[in-house]
Structure 1
Amino acid sequence: MIVVLIGYMASGKSTIGRQLASKLGFSFIDLDSYIEEQELLSISDIFNKKGEIYFRKKESEYLNEIINGEQNNIVLSLGGGTPCYADNIALLLNDKSILTIYLKVGLDEIVNRLGNEKYKRPLVAHIETREDLKDFIRKHLFERSLYYEQSNIKIHTDHNSAKEVVEKIILQLY
């Protein structure tokens, strides 16, 4: 089985993914880290040097590589945009060995989390004010929720620790 964590940036996919993989005895793969290892560049550098179109094409290629690889029993955390491009959501939903989980975080919580680390995020690094950041995220969530909401399982994570979210997921799995 491959458990795929989907959600907006700063929704906790990597943190929760690591803990969930450990609890399940699965391997953990963070797609963004995997891309950085394969491309020998940070995600920010890929965006800056090669552009978003190049990044999205590579993102889809590497997602396919992981899903169609030999390894099983994986928790895979995706980038926030991964399900929204290159028909990636269909790839995930049409494979019976894949379970998708949407980590659903409220707008204010995402703004709070991103406010502290936006310089690491190429899509929001240029946004200067909190209100502009909130407007950007609101628009993005509206566009992306169509894809996120197709997930097999939806977990609301606001006001929950990573450990509590992992416990919620495990209760849904068994």
Structure 2
Amino acid sequence: MKIILLGYMASGKSSIGKIVAEKYTLPFIDLDDYIEKQEGKSVSAIFKDKGEIYFRRKENECLQELLHHENNFVLSLGGGTPCYANNMQLINESVTCLSIYLQAKVATIVNRLKNEKEQRPLVANLNENDLDEFVAKHLFERSFFYNQATYKVNIDTKDIETICSEIYSLLT
């Protein structure tokens, strides 16, 4: 089984993905890291040098490559991945994939992003009020795609162990 984690930035996809992968002795793959290795440069540099359209095409190619791979793994998607090309359709049509939306309220995400804005180029220059509005707008736009996941796990007010336990119960 390929376990695909999706959700907005700071929803814990990578942290949770690593724990779930360890529990099931599966490789963990972060799609952005995978793309960076393929391209030999950071996602930020790809956006800067080649633009978002190129990045989204590469993202779709890499996702397809991974989904057709015979081995199982836990895959953490970028926050925008489900919203472009036919990415959610590819995931949902694959009989070897199970997708999980790590769902959070705007306030939860904003709270998490406040402490790590510098590492997040999309929000690094936003003040707190603008950050709240930015996240709310993005979540609204992306919810259509996120909600196509096989399962939803709410992450608000839960510690990482509780979230992982909920995921384990979905997988058994």
User: Which TM-score bucket, shorter chain as reference?
Assistant: over 0.9
Q: How high is the sequence identity, in percent, across the aligned residues?
A: 52
Partner residue, 1:111:
110
1:95-126: CA deviation from partner (whole Å, max 9, x where unpaired): 11100000001111111111222232232233
5 Å-filtered alignment, 1:88-99, equals: 88-99=87-98
Distance 2:72 2:46 in 1: 29
5 Å-filtered alignment, 1:47-86, equals: 47-70=47-70, 72-86=71-85
Gaps of at least 5 residues in structure 2 are none
1:24-64: CA deviation from partner (whole Å, max 9, x where unpaired): 11111010111111111111111222211111111111111
Aligned partner of 1:171 among 166, 169, 172: 169
TM-score, length of structure 1 as denominator length? 0.95
Distance 1:7 1:86 in 2: 17
Distance 1:118 1:86 in 2: 27
Give the RMSD, CA atoms, in angstroms: 1.1
Distance 1:97 1:19 in 2: 20
**How far does residue 137 in structure 1 lie from its aligned partner after superposition?**
0.7
Partner residue, 2:32:
32
Distance 1:167 1:39 in 2: 35
Answer yes or no: is 1:133 the counterpart of 2:131: yes
Partner residue, 1:18:
18
**Structure 1 ranges of 4+ moved more than 6 A:** none
Partner residue, 1:147:
145
Equivalences, count:
172
Distance 2:74 2:6 in 1: 11
TM-score, length of structure 2 as denominator length? 0.96
